[in-house]
Structure 1
Amino acid sequence: MQTNSSPVTQLAPDGGLVFGCDYNPEQWDEATWIEDVRLMREAGVNLVAINIFGWAELQPDADTFTFDRLDAVMDLLSANGIGVNLGTGTSSPPPWLTTAHPAILPVTADGATRWPGGRQAWCPSSPIFRTSALRLVEEVARRYGSHPALRLWHVSNELGCHNALCYCDTSADAFRRWLQDRYPTLDALNAAWGTAFWSQRYSAWEQILPPRTPHATPNPTQVLDFRRFSSDELLGYYRAETAVLRAHSSLPVTTNFMVTAHIRTQNYWQWAPEMDVIANDHYPDHRLEDPVQEIAFAADLTRGLARNRPWLLMEHATSAVNWQPRNIAKAPGELLRNSLAHLARGADGLCFFQWRASLQGSEKFHSAMLPHAGTDSKIWREVSELGDALGRLREVAGSTVTARAAVVFSWEAWWACDGESHPSSDLRYLDQVHALYGALWDAGITADFLPPDGDLSAYDLVLVPALYLVTDDDAARLTDYVRQGGTAVISFFSGIVDENERVRPGGYPGAFRDLLGVRVEEFHPLAAGRQLALSNGTSAELWSEALRTTTAEPVLTITDGHLSGTPAVTRNSFGNGTAWYLGTSLDKETLLEVLSDAARSAGIPASGTRGVETIERVAGDRTYLFLINHTTQDHKHRVTGTELVTGTDVADVVVVPEGSVRVVRTIPTGKEAN
């Protein structure tokens, strides 16, 4: 466990927590800059991201660079003790570049060109774009690499948010080169892709294309490899910018991930080792059933990418966003709760998009720290409240989160599971991850996230949701974990195919048959609205299977229909451990009960109060207990120590008012007060 200062704390002038924002001074005049910096200091802001979309201002044409305004902003921030997270400015090319070189524009799977006018109008494989972008990075790095305000380099912005998958001829050439590196021969590729099916066998590399829109369903392995290639292509671009920056500066370099419910194009397990600081952007998604749980999910997954070291929340919102069908404003107190939920789960810095609300452009109704209404507003008062709270929580910086449970998460399994021509289009990978994670959240059990090849040995309980694609080595690693005494819970549609999307014969769940002690002959996905009765009096939906046990014992069975008597949940003793199998989609209460039983059998008490997050961060002999009350009732928790948000001593019981947050420095008993 790491307890020393993290790279994130080095970004704050006092070594404490980062409180920051995106700032777009190119949208404002110099007089506004002076007022902005004054208010930033008043709010406690200590880090701002600038030059994120500055390319057109810094380079108005192919032959001219102008830095006067950016110089002035950098100097102004430095003079006021505010650090800079300096963007390279390359996230969106200026109109002069796309006009001169339209070949850099991205192309969709059906051949449509994506035109300028929004952002990220560039193909990740375009050598013209890369040459032009790296020229700008060189100029920015040379000019500001030793500037006293500089704390962090910010490569591009949200790489892959809009342009991750490009199907143009340049991308096709790059894809073929990537495939030649992956497969030693064309015969090896044909075998991996199963091209004997539908007369797809390739006799020359030049015949291979990206998975452009076909008349029928595409080759699943071709699609999977194209997603792998696309993630790698953008990572290669990140590395290229980073190499330029490091030639002129020794300061840390990062880019902002998008660990959210709606972005899945990058395999961040491969990206994370390249980052000096793990940074994430996150916005509550009100299209989801439970946005609050998804905040926790994203924060825990980001901490996993950071290998349980503190990380930076690069962007989140003070209130509503602008890009959802219904952009819901935050209720009073929600800003503080949402922000401190990220802090509780390992962030050492909280930053917002953006500082001052724009007056023009497609994000003009996106909330900001300084809203259109100005300082006489709820948002400004809550921003100031958060700044004050982070000042009182300064000592939390550098502490880490501990967990006894883990969730195995795979971007490749996500890509493959959500592919076409599967038993049910209603089965979506992330839904299954959210279901199992949400049950842990309801049970008050903190979980880490691991890749399929991660080290499981430190955990008493491991959840494996819908791991449809898994390699033999990773399946063996999970099997060894259980054999050596661990407890695993594996959900349906796991272990089915290998890394090439080849089905494992002999019956499902393929790679996990022996571990789980079950054999499935056939999937029986359920029609929309159809439910199955279970032996505990509840019902299940979405999925069922013609399952029989070999060595496992049934925990729940189906009690109606042609599968009546078929096990729906099983438990198998395997070596020194236990493997549970979920053969259907349980309702929330039953899933909570099953996972709580599995956790208790692994020695982890399920003692949470639903709607109240209870998370610990630890540094040496100090423990910080975060209590975040999302309910409409006061919550009591038995603990003794010092409550940092209010600055009061706690003897035996702390009261967390409805909708509030309390952070107690102590070693808690973990018991609820009566």
Structure 2
Amino acid sequence: MTRRTTLPRLLPGPDGGPRARLAYGADYNPEQWPREVWQDDVRLMRRAGVNIISLGIFSWARIQPEDGVWDFAWLDELMDLLHGHGIAVDLATATASPPPWLTTAHPEILPVTAAGATVWPGARQHWRPTSPVFREYALRLVSAMAKQYAGHPALAAWHVNNELGCHNIYDYSDDAARAFRAWLRDRYDSLDRLNHAWGTAFWSQRYSDWDQILPPRLAASHPNPTQQLDFKRFSSDALKDYLCAERDLLRRLTPETPVTSNFMVMGGTKGMNYADWAGEVDFVSNDHYVHPGPQDRDELSFSANLISGVAGGHPWYVMEHSTSAVNWQPVNVAKRPGDLARDSLLHVAHGADGICFFQWRQSAAGAEKYHSAMVPHAGEDSEVFRAVTELGRTLRDLAPIAGSGREPAAVAILFDWESWWASEQDSHPTSLLDYRQEALDWYSALLTLGIRADVVTTDADLTPYRLLVAPVLHVVPGELAARLTRYAEGGGHLVTTYFSGIVDENDHVWLGGYPGALRDLLGIRVEEFGPLPDGDAVSVAGDLTGTLWADRVDVVDPAVEVLAHYGSGAHAGRPAVTRRRAGSGSAAYVGTRLGAEGLAGLLPRLLDAAEVRSELPAAARGRVELTVRRAGDHRYLFLVNRTDEAVTLTGLAGDLLTGGDGGAHTGDGDTPTGAADALTGSPDHARPGTYEDVPRRHLTLPPRGVAVLREPAA
């Protein structure tokens, strides 16, 4: 299990300040620059308030220019240089990108696609997670680095590989086939059990020898669905096993140094089951990049919330996000004033104790030269670097928050990687289903109502939550169904949706009618799925619109209340949303996709039953996001302006640790706090200070502004 309380040890700053502080820094790639730039880098790092750097991530070819040849002199110099300036190092194991000499000598380490094509060198992550040859060379490198830097005073943490699985999660090579068969033997013990789980009686797929089994390579039609699901499980486990191999070696050679690896909870990155991986690292780290769109900052908040759930509510680190534009989207738009700070502080609000960017200095060459950085191509005389410097000061002011965990909300959204994988496989009722989007829509709707919600995984303790939303919970083993029943009967209020409860852990349908494993708890029965053609819609409750799906719901238990009916379509007049009393709680079902706007219209009835109310003043609901962290005797309230207009909040109490950009005000009148423009990086206004023991009655958040209040814990 994870040692999640073991966070990187930060060195005292140049001013001899305390070690308890928020980490601030970036990926640093000094091998791209001449030595004279290194001195300028550390000067600017100190100016920006940087206190930790990720080093060596893509340095294998520099550290080991040839097989058996090692060059640590340059890295030694940098470790000493950074330490001399009070900057700690999160040292990567440099295994993310094999050097050309290795792939030339051993092309058998290169991944293979489902169609049998080799993935060639020329980019990064061109290695098979199950290759014994790659592992031998990679662990040799890890061992050399650990021995070289064990005990170095700059070493704060080990950074295993980099974004494991970003480009090589699915490998269909012969190495993968052998490892897949071994994984299946361990899971099923016998071919009879495997044949049952995979339903191989269909299409004459019964296996009589383990060696007959392959990964789901390109086939004439849809590959076996349980084979596909198991291959997804295996592929996540194979990368986890590789992570553990590096981790175990590092723990043996440097037992006092915590180990992490940067996850990627964001957007459509779904191949790695991070809920399962989290227990293998000493502290959880995450990379996140904003995907432009109408829910862009909601998605950022959702992802930060989910990684907090993955971390069990303990503090975690942002290892990568961007100061401004990225380089890999179709159109790469620069961030607006205030976005850099708001994005960063949203992560802090959801439990991040470290805020780091990719990268420190923007590259002049290479595939990511147009990706923004802390020091952009324009240099230190730039709006980006001024914003970076102001954020560093703000994070210094927020030092009291370091080490605090999130305070549970009254509402949680249940997120399940296996339901994500299985619900979106081929040969299903619709190919338009988007599991993560459905979860995000519920989250956005709660934000619109001013309701604080956690995002948790299926192994979480559900007892703190009065309302639990489990959208498209497609894979429901018997044990999970029993847990959800106990939750509802014990006083919790469960809400689930279409295409939930459909299959067990083997992707076998629960028979007797849908929603299968949850049918009795919900008190309803659906005989056939109700997918809608793209573009079709149905009305619900008169003023809501359902798309994607419209189940024909039959009520089979008199304890069921119909909350909304279909107003149009094939099921007009029939139930669309139901709720059944269960013990001292309830279980509700939503048979169509309502989208974020429609769910905001439906949710008040569900929230009322659970006696959940917004903690925000009425005028701020939907405009401001509230999150709460707690440490010792204090609660820290983060108030994040979701809009491009100023928002005034009234009825607040607590000490203002830091305020928004562009004119945050608190107190009896409109007296400025001094938090004028800190989060935009503008030099024309003062940076926020720390305000203690002053009663506050109202506060104005500027557009995209953030304020943090400290109050005594109840």
Residue identity opposite 1:620 in structure 2: G
1:179-230 superposed Cα distances (whole Å, 9 cap, x missing partner): 0111111011000000001111111111100000101011110001011111
Q: Is the CA contact (8 Å cut-off) linking 1:17 and 1:349 kept in structure 2?
A: yes
Q: Output the CA distance in 2 between the equivalents of 1:66 and 1:376.
A: 35
CA contact (8 A) 1:5 1:398 kept: no
Q: How far, CA to CA, are the matches of 2:412 and 2:367 in structure 1?
A: 39
1:324 is displaced (CA, Å) by 0.9
Distance 1:632 1:191 in 2: 56
Q: 1:129-208 residue pairs with structure 2 within 5 A?
A: 129-208=134-213
> Once the 2 structures are TM-superposed, how far is the Cα of residue 401 of structure 1 from its aligned partner?
1.6
Displacement of 1:589 in angstroms is 3.2
Write the mapping of 1:296-311 to structure 2, written as runs, cut at 5 A: 296-311=301-316
1:270 counterpart = 2:282: no
Shift of 1:7: 3.2
Name 2:253's counterpart in structure 1: 248
8 Å contact from structure 1 (residues 644, 665) kept in 2: yes
Pair 1:445 & 2:490 matched: no
Aligned to 2:67: 62
Aligned to 2:676: none
In structure 2, how many angstroms separate the alpha carbons of the residues matched to 1:641 and 1:518? 47
What is the rounded CA distance, in whole Å, between the counterparts of 1:311 and 1:10 in structure 2?
A: 13
Contact 2:533 2:548 in 1 (8 A): yes
Is residue 615 of structure 1 aligned with residue 627 of structure 2? yes
- Equivalent-residue separation in structure 1 for 2:603 and 2:539 (angstroms): 19
Structure 1 residues 335 and 23: alpha-carbon distance in aligned structure 2, compared to 1, 3 A threshold: same
Q: Offset at 1:458?
A: 1.7
In structure 1, the partner of 2:44 is 39
1:85 equivalent to 2:90? Answer yes
Contact 2:4 2:311 (C-alpha < 8 Å) held by counterparts? no
Could you tell me which amino acid in structure 2 is paired with residue 625 of structure 1? L
Cα distance in 1, alignment partners of residues 231 and 109 from structure 2: 19
8 Å Cα contact 1:494-1:509 kept in structure 2 = yes
Q: Which residue of 2 aligns with 1:536?
A: 542
Which deviations, in whole Å up to 9, do the C-alpha atoms of 1:539-570 show, x marking residues without a partner?
21110112111221111111223211111111
* Structure-2 separation of matches of 1:321 and 1:78: 30
Instruction: Give secondary structure in 2 for the equivalent of 1:665.
Output: strand
- Once the two structures are TM-superposed, the CA of residue 581 in structure 1 deviates from its matched residue by 0.7
Q: Please give the per-residue CA displacement for 1:262-290, whole angstroms capped at 9, x wherever unaligned.
A: 2111111111011101000000012x441
- Contact preservation (8 Å) 1:629, 1:656: yes
Distance 1:422 1:643 in 2: 52
Partners of 2:308 and 2:315 within 8 A in 1:
yes
Tell me which moved more, 375-384 or 581-590. 581-590
Q: Which residue of 1 aligns with 2:593?
A: 585
Q: Which runs of 4+ in 1 moved over 6 A?
A: none
Task: Give the stretch that moved more between structures: 645-654 or 253-262.
Answer: 645-654
Q: Which runs of 5+ in 1 are unaligned?
A: 670-674
Greater Cα offset, 255-264 or 545-554: 545-554
Structure 1 segment 29-428 matched on structure 2, within 5 A? 29-249=34-254, 250-286=256-292, 288-402=293-407, 403-428=409-434
| Distance of 2:158 and 2:238 partners within structure 1 | 20
Give the whole-Å Cα distance in 1 for the aligned partners of 2:150 and 2:713. Answer: 45
CA distance in 1, matches of 2:74, 2:544: 65
Q: Identity, % of aligned pairs?
A: 50
Q: Letter of the 2:641 partner, please give it.
A: N
Return the alpha-carbon distance in structure 2 between the equivalents of residues 69 and 337 of structure 1: 36
Which residue matches 2:682?
A: none
Is the Cα contact below 8 Å between 1:9 and 1:17 reproduced in 2?
Answer: no
Q: Secondary structure at the match of 1:522?
A: coil
* 255-264 or 609-618: bigger deviation: 609-618
Q: What residue is the counterpart of 2:685 in the other structure?
A: none
Tell me the SS of whatever aligns to 1:493. Answer: coil
Deviations 1:146-204 (A, max 9, x none): 10000000000000000011000111011001101111110110000000011111111
Residue 656 (structure 1) aligned to one of 698, 701, 707: 701
Q: State the 1:600 CA deviation.
A: 2.7
- Match of 2:95, SS? coil
- 1:451 is displaced (CA, Å) by 2.4
* 1:636 maps to amino acid: T
The CA deviation string for residues 447-503 of structure 1, in whole angstroms up to 9 with x for no partner, is 223322332112111110101111110111001100111011101110000011100
> 1:372-521 maps to which residues of 2 (within 5 A)?
372-402=377-407, 403-521=409-527
Q: Secondary structure at the match of 2:553?
A: strand
Who is 1:632 aligned against? 644
The whole-number CA distance in structure 1 between the counterparts of 2:39 and 2:146 is: 25
Aligned partner of residue 247 in structure 1, secondary structure? helix
1:668: how far off? 9.7
Amino acid at match of 1:216: S
Query: Judging changes above 3 Å, is the alpha-carbon distance between structure 1 residues 459 and 538 closer, same or farther for their aligned structure 2 residues?
Result: closer
In the alignment, is the contact (CA less than 8 A) between 1:152 and 1:251 conserved in 2? Answer: yes
1:15-45 residue CA offsets vs partner (Å, 9 max, x unmatched): 1110111000110111000000010011000
The alpha-carbon deviation at position 579 of structure 1 amounts to 1.0
Query: Equivalents in 1 of 2:609, 2:633: separation in Å?
Result: 28
Equivalent-residue separation in structure 1 for 2:249 and 2:636 (angstroms): 40
Q: 1:292 to 1:12 in 2, by over 3 A?
A: farther
Match for 1:664: what amino acid?
A: L
The CA deviation at 1:607 is 5.3
SS in 1 for 2:413: strand
Q: Structure 1: how far apart are the matches of 2:398 and 2:371?
A: 28
Mapped pair 1:8 → 2:38: no
- Residue 600 (str. 1) matches residue 599 (str. 2): no
Find the counterpart in structure 2 of residue 672 from structure 1.
none
Equivalent position amino acid for 1:470 in 2: V
8 Å Cα contact 1:617-1:625 kept in structure 2? yes
Distance 1:439 1:63 in 2: 57
Decide whether the 8 Å contact of 2:489 with 2:582 is kept in 1: yes
Q: What amino acid does structure 1 have at the position aligned with 2:709?
A: V
The corresponding residue for 2:563 is 555
Amino acid at match of 2:117: A
Task: Write the distance in 2 (CA, Å) between the matches of 1:170 and 1:110.
Answer: 15
Code of the aligned partner of 1:553: E
Counterpart residue type for residue 316 of structure 2: W
Q: Look up the equivalent residue of 1:191 and give its one-letter code.
A: H
Partners of 2:280 and 2:459 lie apart in 1 by: 18
Task: Tell me if the contact between 1:453 and 1:474 (Cα under 8 Å) persists in the aligned partners.
Answer: no
* Rounded Cα–Cα distance in structure 1 between residues aligned with 2:564 and 2:247: 53
Distance in 1 of aligned mates of 2:115 and 2:382: 47
State the distance in 2 between where 1:372 and 1:436 align.
40
Per-residue CA distance 1:76-115 (angstroms, 9 max, x = gap): 0011110000000100100000000000000000101000
* Post-superposition offset of 1:537: 2.6
SS at match of 1:662: strand
Secondary structure in 2 aligned to 1:523? coil
Separation in 1, partners of 2:319, 2:147: 24
Aligned AA (1:661)? V
Contact 2:492–2:584, Cα closer than 8 Å, also in 1: yes
Q: Contact conserved, 1:37 with 1:80, CA < 8 A, in 2?
A: yes
The answer to whether the 8 Å contact 2:536/2:547 transfers is yes
Q: What RMSD over aligned residues (CA atoms) do the two structures have, in Å?
A: 1.5
Rate the CA distance shift 1:123–1:644 in 2: closer, same or farther, 3 A: same
Q: CA deviation at 1:615?
A: 1.3
Asked if structure 2 preserves the Cα contact closer than 8 Å seen for 1:9 and 1:15, the reply is no
